């Protein structure tokens, strides 16, 4: 009888310990929001509709790549990231900072995402950055090249950018003009926000002592119905070099307006955000190929329409994967889908580097130790960060447009 009593006591103790262990494991799992044994939930917001809806393919390209990662077996023999399926939640913020704030609250408080990845727009990211940093939610690989993400990491340690920053890119244009057209008369047309101002700051840094080559600076608001008055003043300035620091839709509209005003600058510089094939196709349709042929821009990603990359293994795989995992009828020639793939690649690398039991802190440590080649970028570019360098991609190359393609020229330029 006594033996039976002790047996029951031992079994009860084992059951109690097992129950406590299960409870502790559940607590550990739930201690990191968005991470379970089988899933890792991440999200972001993008303009799927509205004035900046041309960017909508970006999160859909990311989604296609994540679906591929979830389906294939990695080097560890597991699908997804370490056996966890990536759950990608993204919402339409219509390029409105107030809407972005509401939706990021939803992502963090309702969807309980592990991290916010790739949210698009300078003002949108500025609006959500304080909230995300206060709650120590990783705010990573944002889809904007504003310099803040790399420069203000001490104030906002949970935020990091991805692409070359606008100051570095603008500096490249200023340097190229100063070297190749030292007597140019420059007109700059820019978006009236930190996005445009960052670019302009870089152009002036690149021009150096030749800043006085700028004879006209005009801004536009996203709500402007017409740019005719601003561009008429730029035409009157006698400028022969036109620098467009604009987003895609305003770029097309500005070029069409200049054509209507019978103003054809001999050199046109188009920032990389808008130097996308579908944007240029629209510009050609509105103003003619002769107007935009010879335009200068920069790139850090392979161009999916450049004949040079027709047989590139990475570009060919991108086309195959987009057809299999992307939206029905997705246009593989749309560079924004490709951009989404490139960003998703680095996202997966970071999630993997965060460890077998990832935490938000371990993910942020991973963002400070990026050191690899992203196969979607141009040859020679390295994704690299450190505790004091929060600019993952800082190398770029100049490109020149001849309808319908952009062609690389010159050497890699390190903007930082």
**Per residue in 316-334, pLDDT tens?**
999 999 999 999 999 999 9
| CATH pick for 39-164+309-385 out of 3.30.70.890, 3.40.50.300, 3.40.50.2300, 1.10.760.10 | 3.40.50.2300
Give the up-direction half-sphere exposure of residue 203: CA atoms within 13 A in the CB hemisphere.
Answer: 27
pLDDT averaged over every residue in the chain: 92
pLDDT score at 277 = 85
pLDDT at 55 (0 to 100)? 93
pLDDT tens per residue across span 299-322 = 999 999 889 999 999 999 999 999
pLDDT digits (tens, 9 = 90+) for 149-161: 999 999 999 999 9
Q: What tens digit of pLDDT does each residue of 87-108 get?
A: 999 999 999 999 999 999 999 9
The structure's pTM equals 0.86
Q: Over 60: is that where the pLDDT of 24 sits? A: no
- Pick from 40, 63, 46: nearest CA to 114: 40
For residues 126-141, give the mean pLDDT.
98
**pLDDT-based confidence at 31, cuts 50/70/90?**
confident
Cis peptide preceding 404, ω within 30 of 0:
yes
Residues 415, 4: Cα–Cα separation, whole Å: 78
Confidence of residue 84 (pLDDT cuts 50, 70, 90): very high
Residue 79 pLDDT grade (very low, low, confident, very high; cuts 50, 70, 90): very high
What is residue 52's predicted lDDT score, i.e. its pLDDT? Answer: 87
CB 395 within 8 A of CB 381: yes
Which residues partner with 245 through β-bridges? Answer: 190
- Report d(CA 199, CA 125) in Å as an integer: 17
Q: Residue 380: which pLDDT band, with cuts at 50, 70 and 90?
A: very high
| Residues 207, 184: Cα–Cα separation, whole Å | 11
Question: What strands, in cross-sheet order, belong to the sheet with 115-117?
Answer: 85-92, 39-46, 115-117, 139-140
**Residue 278 pLDDT:** 84
What are the residue ranges of CATH 3.40.50.2300 in the chain? 39-164+309-385, 166-299+400-414
Q: Quick check: 16 pLDDT over 70?
A: no
Helix (H) or strand (E) holding 45: strand 39-46
Q: DSSP secondary structure string, 100-138?
A: HHHHHHIIIIIS--SEEE--B-HHHHHHHHHHHHHTT--
> To 5 degrees, how large is the angle CA 370–CA 376–CA 380?
70
Residues 6+ apart with CB under 8 A from 230: 189, 218, 219, 220
- For position 175, what pLDDT does the model report? 95
pLDDT at 369: 98
Domain topology for 166-299+400-414: Rossmann fold (3.40.50)
User: Can you give the pLDDT at residue 9?
Assistant: 43
């Amino acid at each position: 009888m006594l033996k039976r009593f002790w047996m029951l006591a031992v079994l009860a103790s084992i059951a109690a310990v097992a129950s406590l262990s299960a409870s502790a494991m559940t607590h550990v799992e739930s201690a990191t929001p968005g991470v379970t044994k089988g899933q890792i939930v991440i999200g972001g917001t993008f303009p799927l509709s509205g004035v900046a809806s041309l960017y909508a393919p970006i999160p859909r390209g990311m989604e296609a790549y994540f679906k591929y990662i979830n389906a294939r077996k990695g080097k560890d023999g597991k699908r997804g990231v370490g056996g966890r399926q990536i759950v990608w939640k993204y919402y339409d913020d219509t390029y409105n900072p107030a809407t972005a704030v509401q939706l990021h609250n939803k992502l963090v408080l309702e969807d309980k995402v592990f991290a916010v990845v790739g949210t698009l727009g300078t003002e949108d990211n500025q609006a959500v950055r304080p909230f995300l940093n206060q709650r120590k939610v990783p705010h990573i690989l944002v889809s904007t090249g504003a310099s803040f993400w790399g420069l203000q990491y001490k104030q906002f340690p949970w935020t990091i950018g991805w692409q070359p920053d606008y100051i570095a890119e603008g500096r490249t244009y200023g340097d190229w003009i100063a070297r190749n057209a030292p007597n140019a008369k420059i007109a700059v047309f820019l978006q009236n926000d930190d996005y445009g101002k960052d670019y302009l700051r870089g152009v002036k840094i690149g021009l150096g002592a030749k800043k006085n080559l700028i004879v006209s600076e005009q801004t536009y608001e996203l709500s402007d119905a017409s740019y005719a008055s601003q561009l008429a003043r730029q035409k009157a300035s006698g400028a022969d070099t036109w620098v467009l620091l604009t987003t895609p839709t305003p770029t097309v509209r500005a070029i069409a307006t200049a054509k209507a005003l019978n103003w054809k600058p001999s050199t046109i510089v188009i920032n990389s955000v808008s130097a996308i094939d579908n944007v240029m196709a629209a510009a050609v349709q509105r103003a003619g190929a002769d107007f935009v042929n010879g335009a200068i821009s920069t790139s850090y990603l392979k161009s999916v329409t450049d004949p040079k990359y027709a047989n590139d293994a990475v570009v060919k795989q991108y086309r195959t994967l987009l057809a299999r995992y992307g939206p029905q009828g997705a246009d593989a020639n749309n560079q924004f889908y490709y951009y989404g793939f490139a960003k998703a690649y680095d996202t997966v690398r970071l999630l993997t580097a965060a460890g077998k039991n990832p935490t938000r802190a371990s993910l942020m440590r991973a963002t400070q130790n990026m050191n690899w080649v992203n196969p979607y970028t141009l040859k020679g570019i390295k994704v690299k960060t450190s505790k004091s360098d929060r600019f993952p991609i800082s190398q770029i190359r100049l490109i020149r447009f001849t309808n319908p393609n952009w062609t690389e020229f010159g050497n890699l330029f390190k903007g930082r």
